[in-house]
Amino acid sequence: MGDGMSSHYQGHSAFGRFVNEIEETAIAVILGLMTLITFVNVVLRYGFNTGLIWGLEAVTILFAWLVLFGISYAVKVTAHLGVDAVINLVPPTVRRVLALIAAVICIVYAALLLKGAWDYWANFANLPQTTGRFFPTGFEEMKRTSYRSWYEVVDIPMPDWLRFIEPWINEGEAYEKLPRFIPYAILPFGAALLLFRFIQAGARIWRGDQQSLIVSHEAEDAVDDVAHMNRED
């Protein structure tokens, strides 16, 4: 039952459990914040003819964070959909080899994504991009145009409790809006988390604890059972 989708996944190592807690807590907090901001905005708009100017942008950013966390979470619980009509025609040994090949491809893809995500985010945090076209071979020499920490979001105001970062990343200049490097930080973090989850999935397939990267038939049967119950109601 190694490839069954489980909402009670537990990492085998202390690091795995730590990452798991961060991931699930972040998803819960993001969902809660999105719901709260949207609810407050609706009440203010229809009840008091006003609203949170920064509400839409905040929810949009939170949704992007949720998507990036959700991608890796779906890899962890084997919830990604896939077509296995052809794979099921071959013997189990061949299926395992194909699953390992798919895992390697996904790991390479996640590594490429991590490089691109870091390179996009780095200059917003006054950090160097990597060199190398596909895989990092080092770090670039910072130029004058490489420092972009002064870029801000459109509407979200700068929280006072974050102003301690201004002296060391914005040369002491005060931010009026939230600096972009903060919401954009999910790009390298999410890509690194996705790479970590694909490596975990590949290791489980290698050990025989998991059969594929896509959602199991157990999950499909569970969905069919729920649909059948709804039809009976």
The boundaries of the domain holding residue 228 are: 14-232
Task: Report the pLDDT value the prediction gives residue 64, as an integer from 0 to 100.
Answer: 96
d(CA 118, CA 3): 31
Written as tens digits, the pLDDT of the chain (233 aa) is 334 444 445 566 788 788 888 899 999 999 999 999 999 999 999 999 888 999 999 999 999 999 999 999 999 888 888 877 778 888 888 989 999 999 999 999 999 999 999 999 999 999 999 999 888 899 999 888 889 999 999 999 999 999 999 988 888 899 999 999 999 999 999 999 999 999 999 999 998 888 888 875 555 555 566 666 767 66
**b/e map of 87-96 (b: 16 or more CB within 10 Å)?**
beeeeeeebb
Q: Any long-range contacts for 130-136 (C-beta under 8 Å, 24+ apart)? A: 135/111
What pLDDT sits at residue 10?
Answer: 59
Are the beta carbons of 199 and 100 closer than 8 angstroms?
no
Residue 76 in any domain: the answer is yes
Structural domain includes residue 4: no
pLDDT at residue 108, rounded to an integer: 96
What's the pTM? 0.83
pLDDT of residue 5: 40
Is residue 122 one of the residues assigned to a domain? yes
Looking at residue 7, its pLDDT comes to: 45
Q: Number of structural domains, the chain?
A: 1
- Provide the token pair at 146: 């490489």
Whether residue 44 is contained in a domain is answered as yes
In a domain, 81, yes or no: yes
Q: How high is the pLDDT of residue 2?
A: 39
What is the pLDDT at residue 3? Answer: 42
